[in-house]
Amino acid sequence: MMRRLWPFVVGSVALGLDAYVVAGLLPSVASSLGAWEATVGLGVAAFTGSYAVAGPLLAGRAGQRSRRSLVTALLVFTVANLATALSPTVGVFLGARVVAGAAAGVYSPLSSAVAAKLVGQERRGRAVALVLAGLAVGTVFGVPIGLALAQRWGWRAAILLIVAIGGAALAGIALRGGELPAIPASSPADRLRSIARPKNLLTVTVTLLTGVASLGLYTYLTVVLSAGSLASHQSMAIWFWGLGGAVGALGIGPLVDRFDPLRLSAVILTGLVCALFGMTQGHAAGVTVASLFVWGMCGWASLAPQQHALLQANPADGATAVAANASANYLGSALGAAIGSLLVAAHAAPAVLCGSAAAVAALALLCQVVRQRMSSKA
C-alpha cells in the first residue's frame, strides 16, 4: 500500500513542516527582513487562515479531476514556498504564506479522499491514517530538522527543505501512470448544507476542540516544561511527545479499519483528557514523561477516525466534509494558541494552562459521546 500512496504521504510531510516550522523562525525572519516579530508572526495566521478557508470552498470541485488538482495544488504550494524562501520584504513573505496555505487547504483533504479510494474498503482507514501520519512526521521530526538547518545556514534553508519535499511529492504524483479516482462533488449550496448537518457539524466541532486542547497547548510546551521537573531536559521531553505522536499517527490505521471510528474516537479523547490532566503534575518527572507520550499519541491519533467517519457518512461529498474537518483542526490550533497567549500574558501557572486544555478536551469528549448516541439512534 505504501508503494501506491507514498507521494501523498510525502506531500503531507511537507504540509506538516510548513504549518509549524515558521513559528520557530520568527526572530531570524524578522531580523532578516527588517520587520517586527509580531508582523512576521502573521505569516503563521496567514497560512492556517488561508488553509481553513480554501479547503471547504475548493476541495469539492477539485475532486472532479483529482490528478490535475493534486498536481496543481502541490505546484502552487512548492512555488509559494520558494517565493517565501526568496522573499526580499515582509509583504512578499506574507503574501507567499497566504498562497501556500490555500494550496495546502486543497491538497490535504483531497489527498486523503483519493488515498481512501485507491485501496479496498477494508483498508481505507489505514490509507487515510497513513496520509495523515505524514502531517505528524512533518511536525514531529521535520520541524526540529528544519530548525537545525536554520541555525546552520539561515531561515531560508529551512523553507527550502519544504520546497524539496514538496517537489518530491509533486514529481511522484505527476509521473504516476494512470488516472486517479474522481471524488464526488456537489454544488456550493449542497456543500454548505452538508457541513451544516448535525452529525457532520458535531464531528467538526470535536476536531476543533481537540485542536484547541492538543495543538494549542503544544505551542506553549516549553513554557509548561520550564517550571517542572524536566526544565533542564526539555529537548528530551519534547521527543517523548513526538515519539508518542509517531506511534499514534502510524498505529491508528488498522484500528480504524477494525473498530467503530466513533467509539474509537471516544477512547482516544479519554486518553487525551487523562494525559493533559497528568501534565498538571509537573513536579513528578515520571508522570510528566508518561503524560507527554500519551498526549502525543492520542492527539495525533484523533484525526484519522474522524476523517474516516465523515467519509462513511458523506459518500456523495466526502472531500468537502474532510476539508471542513481538516480546517477545523488548523483553526483549533490557532484558537488554542491565541487563548494560551492570553493566559501566558496573565502570568497563569503552567498547571492552569494544562488544566484548561484538559477541560477543553473533556468538552470534546462530551460532544463525541453525543455524536455517538446520535448514530446509535439512527
Give the confidence band of 322 by pLDDT, cuts at 50, 70, 90. Answer: confident
Residues 163, 251 within the same domain: no
- Domain boundary residue among 165, 183, 201? 183
Q: Which domain holds residue 239?
A: 186-378
- Residue 304: CA count within 13 A, CB half-sphere: 36
SS3 helix, strand, coil % of the chain, rounded to 5?
Answer: 85, 0, 15
Cell for 50? 488561508
Residues 93, 241 within the same domain: no
The answer, yes or no, to whether residue 211 has pLDDT greater than 80, is: yes
User: Torsions phi, psi of 335, nearest 5?
Assistant: -65, -40
With both helix axes pointing from N to C terminus, report the angle between 66-85 and 2-33 in degrees, rounded to the nearest 10: 30
Residues 218, 275 within the same domain: yes
The pLDDT, as a whole number, for residue 53 is 78
Using alpha carbons, select from 177, 173, 44, 151 the residue that is nearest to residue 101: 44
The pLDDT, as a whole number, for residue 11 is 93
Q: What angle do CA 282, 338, 355 make, to 5 degrees?
A: 30
Mean pLDDT (whole number) for 325-335: 81
H/E stretch holding 131: helix 124-137
CATH number at residue 296: 1.20.1250.20
Residues 291, 143 within the same domain: no
Residues 179, 192 within the same domain: no
Window from 246-255, 336-345, 346-355 with minimum mean pLDDT: 336-345
Q: What pTM did the predictor assign?
A: 0.75
Residues 227, 176 within the same domain: no
Of the two residues 218 and 373, the one the predictor is more confident about is 373
Cα 304 from Cα 309, distance rounded (Å): 9
Window from 33-47, 108-122, 181-195, 354-368 with minimum mean pLDDT: 181-195
- Domain boundary residue among 163, 183, 203? 183
Residues 92, 214 within the same domain: no
The pLDDT, as a whole number, for residue 91 is 93
**Structurally, how many domains does the chain consist of?**
2
Residues 253, 285 within the same domain: yes
The pLDDT, as a whole number, for residue 317 is 65
Residues 194, 107 within the same domain: no
Rounded to the nearest 10°, the torsion over CA 13, 17, 19, 23 is 170
Residues 208, 93 within the same domain: no
Q: How many residues does the chain have?
A: 378
Residues 141, 192 within the same domain: no
- Domain boundary residue among 183, 215, 238? 183
Contacts of residue 276, defined as CB under 8 A and 6 or more positions apart, other chains included, come to 213, 214, 217, 291, 295, 354, 355, 357, 358, 361
The pLDDT, as a whole number, for residue 169 is 94
The pLDDT, as a whole number, for residue 368 is 95
Are 147 and 159 spatial neighbours (Cβ–Cβ below 8 Å)? no
Residues 28, 173 within the same domain: yes
